[in-house]
């Protein structure tokens, strides 16, 4: 069934990630608490009690083939979500948005209508994480220098994936139905389903002050001149799909020789990630404090929205992760200062804490004011339809204007079966009214993104 699109009806995903296996520090990825859990290990062990508790080592060696076959069978049959995640991370990064759109619009689970029926398009904000390498301790193994992950590689991949999306389409291969074929697009930019507005990841600890100033000049030049949200959106939309770059372009800024503002308006905002070592208020170090002061001031001056990771999970390399992430600690110092009252900031994940405590969420909600600039998103905490019961209670407590819809895709594949499912949860839940769904998925994120 073809999706019938209705002009002007948009859906916003304010918290999205585009990764392949080269982007994150795999050490921190594989050691995420939510990827390999006590429960999953116990389930794995439970599948092989005869191996782990009965058979001697010589028997395992004798029948290594059968044992490995059983392990492989377990992985393919029982670890579906992990394989689902890896299948998205292993694909060519340039095709990412094309593939996600294809599955989103064409793959359904036995229903007559499509959950996105009537939506004109979808706005997604891929958040780049500055993994860097600072804050990681040297491990005990032989090749023990912490891996450097320059953020420039992610920038190239996200921008090139956006370029491919707006300049190509994919179709089912006419001769090989198990494959797809890339063809030049038959659509103009306005008729594409996705609008893609990335956020640039910055960890001030990885740069000198002059380098941070150069990043703002390179990627956010002229933003201070935008007078209205419509003007900001128009300039960002005009640059969609225009940047096709390589590592030499980025290092030597070759594109700017022909077009001075080539890199400006390619990013809509900035992403901060405390668990990887970003200190929101390093008052003990004047040099570091100058850098974060500059970052906040420039974001205010140029009207740049900021999304900050705010849960006790995620990619963790810093021993000070909790201190940096806890909204009641370093962030409370930032938000208490009058010079930063106009900092437009989204504390992601509703301050989720794995042990069920809600003090981080309560701190965030205490900072949320109807006429203020503090927001929070529900990414990663609404993997089931009934999870919206909590969102409904929060929105019914006079906080309707600052809650944002986000998915945390593709990381949410750890808990969810698909991007489609996560979006369907929002559209089908009975715990939110139609107005609340409109607020959380369009009006609020639109104001956060464009001002």
pLDDT average, residue stretch 114-124: 86
Q: For residue 110, what pLDDT band results from cuts at 50, 70 and 90? A: low
Which of residues 3 and 451 earns the better pLDDT score? 451
Model pLDDT for residues 147-182, shown as the tens digit of each residue: 555 688 889 999 999 999 999 999 888 888 888 899
Of residues 257 and 439, more confidently modeled: 439
> What is the number of domains present in the chain?
1
Alpha helices in 79-196 (DSSP H): 80-90, 96-106, 151-167
Supply φ then ψ for residue 167, to 5 degrees: -115, -5
Residue 213 has pLDDT above 80, yes or no: yes
Give the pLDDT confidence of 332-385 residue by residue, as tens digits: 999 999 999 999 999 999 999 988 999 999 999 999 998 899 999 999 899 889
Could you tell me if residue 144 is inside a domain? yes
The residue among 48 and 446 whose pLDDT is bigger is 446
Examine residue 126 and state whether it is found in any structural domain, yes or no. yes
Residue 231 structural domain: 10-22+93-450
Is residue 55 included in any domain, yes or no? no
Q: Which tens digit of pLDDT belongs to each residue from 238-258?
A: 999 999 999 888 888 888 888
Q: How many CB atoms lie within 10 A of CB 95?
A: 17
Q: What integer best gives the mean pLDDT of the chain?
A: 84
Q: Residue 113 is part of a domain; what is its CATH number?
A: 3.20.20.140
User: Which residues in 39-62 are b (16+ Cβ under 10 Å) and which e?
Assistant: eeeeebeeeeeeeeeeeeeeeeee
CA-to-CA distance for 219 and 227, rounded, in angstroms?
18
Q: Is 113 contained in some domain?
A: yes
- Examine residue 15 and state whether it is found in any structural domain, yes or no: yes
SS3 letters across 36-65 = CCHHHHHHHHHHCHHHHHHCCHHHHHHCHH
Residue 371 lies in a domain: yes
> Is the backbone peptide bond immediately before 410 cis, with ω within 30 degrees of 0?
yes
In whole angstroms, what separates CA 208 from the centre of its chain?
A: 26
In a domain, 196, yes or no: yes
Sign of CA dihedral 284, 286, 287, 292: positive
For residue 422, is it within any domain?
A: yes
């Amino acid at each position: 069934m073809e999706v019938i699109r209705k002009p002007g009806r948009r859906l916003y995903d304010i918290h999205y990630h585009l990764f392949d296996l080269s982007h994150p520090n795999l050490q921190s990825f594989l050691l995420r608490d939510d990827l390999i859990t006590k429960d999953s290990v116990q389930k794995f062990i439970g599948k092989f009690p005869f191996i782990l508790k009965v058979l001697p080592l010589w028997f395992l060696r004798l029948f290594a083939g059968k044992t490995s076959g059983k392990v492989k069978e377990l992985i393919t049959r029982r670890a579906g979500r992990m394989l689902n995640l890896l299948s998205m991370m292993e694909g060519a990064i340039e095709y990412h948005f094309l593939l996600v759109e294809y599955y989103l619009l064409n793959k359904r689970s036995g229903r007559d209508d499509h959950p996105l029926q009537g939506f004109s398009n979808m706005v997604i904000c891929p958040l780049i994480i500055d993994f860097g390498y600072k804050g990681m301790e040297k491990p005990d193994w032989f090749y023990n220098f912490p891996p450097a992950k320059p953020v420039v590689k992610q920038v190239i991949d996200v921008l090139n994936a956006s370029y491919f999306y707006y300049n190509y389409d994919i179709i089912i291969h006419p001769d090989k139905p198990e494959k797809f074929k890339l063809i030049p697009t038959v659509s103009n930019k306005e008729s594409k389903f996705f609008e893609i507005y990335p956020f640039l990841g910055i960890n001030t600890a990885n740069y000198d002050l002059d380098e941070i100033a150069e990043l703002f000049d390179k990627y956010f030049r002229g933003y201070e001149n935008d007078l209205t949200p419509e003007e900001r959106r128009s300039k960002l939309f005009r640059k969609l799909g225009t940047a096709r770059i390589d590592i030499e372009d980025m290092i030597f800024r070759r594109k700017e020789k022909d077009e001075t503002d080539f890199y400006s308006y390619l990013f809509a905002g900035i992403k901060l990630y405390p668990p990887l070592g970003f200190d929101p208020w390093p008052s003990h170090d004047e040099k570091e404090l100058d850098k974060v002061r500059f970052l906040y001031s420039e974001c205010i001056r140029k009207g740049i929205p900021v999304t900050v990771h705010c849960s006790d999970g995620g990619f963790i390399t810093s021993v000070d992760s909790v201190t940096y992430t806890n909204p009641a600690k370093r962030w409370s110092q930032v938000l208490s200062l009058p010079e930063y009252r106009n900092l437009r900031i989204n504390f992601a994940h509703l301050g989720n804490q794995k042990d069920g405590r809600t003090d981080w969420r309560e701190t965030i909600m205490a900072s949320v004011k109807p006429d203020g600039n503090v927001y929070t998103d529900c990414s990663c905490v609404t993997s089931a339809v009934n999870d919206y019961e909590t969102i409904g209670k929060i929105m019914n407590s006079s906080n309707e204007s600052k809650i944002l819809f986000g998915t945390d895709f593709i990381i949410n594949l750890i808990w969810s079966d698909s991007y489609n499912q996560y979006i369907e949860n929002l559209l089908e839940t009975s715990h939110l009214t139609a107005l609340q769904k409109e607020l959380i998925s369009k009006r609020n994120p639109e104001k956060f993104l464009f001002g």
